[in-house]
Amino acid sequence: MNVTVKNKKLSQWIKEVADLCKPDDIYVCNGSKEEYDQMVKTLIDSNIAIPLKKRPNSYLFRSDPSDVARVEDRTYISTQSQDEAGPTNNWIDPTELKELMKGFYKGCMTGRTMYVIPFSMGPIGSPIAKIGVEISDSPYVVINMHIMTRVSDRVLELLGTDGDFIPCLHSVGAPLEKGQEDSIWPCAPIENKYISHFPEENLIWSYGSGYGGNALLGKKCLALRIASAMARRESWMAEHMLILRLTNPEGKQYHIAAAFPSACGKTNLAMMQPSLPGWKCECVGDDIAWMKIGPDGRLYAINPENGFFGVAPGTSYDTNPMAMDSLKDNVLFTNCALTDDGDVWWEGMDGDEPAHAIDWKGNDWTPESSHDAAHPNARFTALASKCPVICEDWEKPEGVPIDIFVFGGRRGTVVPLVYESLNWEHGVFLGATAASETTAANIGAVGNLRRDPFAMKPFCGYNMGDYFQHWLNMGEKLGDKRPRIFYVNWFRRSEDGKFLWPGFSENSRVLKWMCDRVDGKAGAEETPIGLIPKDGELDTSGLDISSEDMKELLHVDTKAWKAEIPDIENHFSVFGDRLPEKLRNQLKEFEKRLG
Return the active site residues: 264
**What would the DSSP string read from start to end of 336-359?**
-EEETTS-EE-TT-SSPPPSSEE-
**In the sheet where 289-293 sits, what is the strand order?**
237-239, 289-293, 299-302, 400-401
Q: 135 - beta bridge partners?
A: 116, 169
What lies within 8 Å, CB to CB, of 22 at 6+ separation is 106, 107, 108, 109, 110, 175
What lies within 8 Å, CB to CB, of 99 at 6+ separation is none
The per-residue b/e assignment along 2-11, b for 16 or more CB within 10 angstroms, e otherwise, is: eeebebebbe
Instruction: Give whole-number Cα distances, 40 to 3, 52, 290, 328, in Å.
Output: 21, 13, 31, 18
Give the integer Cα–Cα distance in Å for 466 and 577: 10
Instruction: Give whole-number Cα distances, 74 to 83, 90, 478, in Å.
Output: 19, 8, 37
Give the integer Cα–Cα distance in Å for 204 and 166: 8
How buried is residue 222: exposed, middle or buried, by Cβ count under 10 Å (0-12/13-18/19+)? buried
Write phi, then psi, for 108 (nearest 5 degrees). Answer: -70, -15
How buried is residue 405: exposed, middle or buried, by Cβ count under 10 Å (0-12/13-18/19+)? buried
The closest alpha carbon to 305, from 340, 263, 345, 270, belongs to 270
Q: Strand, coil or helix: what is 33?
A: helix
Give the integer Cα–Cα distance in Å for 195 and 75: 5
Q: Strand, coil or helix: what is 245?
A: strand
Amino acid letter at 92? Answer: I
How buried is residue 19: exposed, middle or buried, by Cβ count under 10 Å (0-12/13-18/19+)? exposed
Give the integer Cα–Cα distance in Å for 240 and 288: 5
Q: How far is CA 358 from the centre of its chain?
A: 29
C-alpha dihedral (584, 587, 588, 591), degrees to nearest 10: -170
Q: How far apart are the first and last CA of the chain?
A: 70
Q: Are 118 and 159 in contact (CB under 8 A)?
A: yes
Write phi, then psi, for 137 (nearest 5 degrees). Answer: -105, 20
Q: How far is CA 396 from the centre of its chain?
A: 20
Instruction: Give whole-number Cα distances, 581 to 235, 426, 461, 468, 586, in Å.
Output: 20, 13, 22, 11, 9
Give the integer Cα–Cα distance in Å for 279 and 254: 11
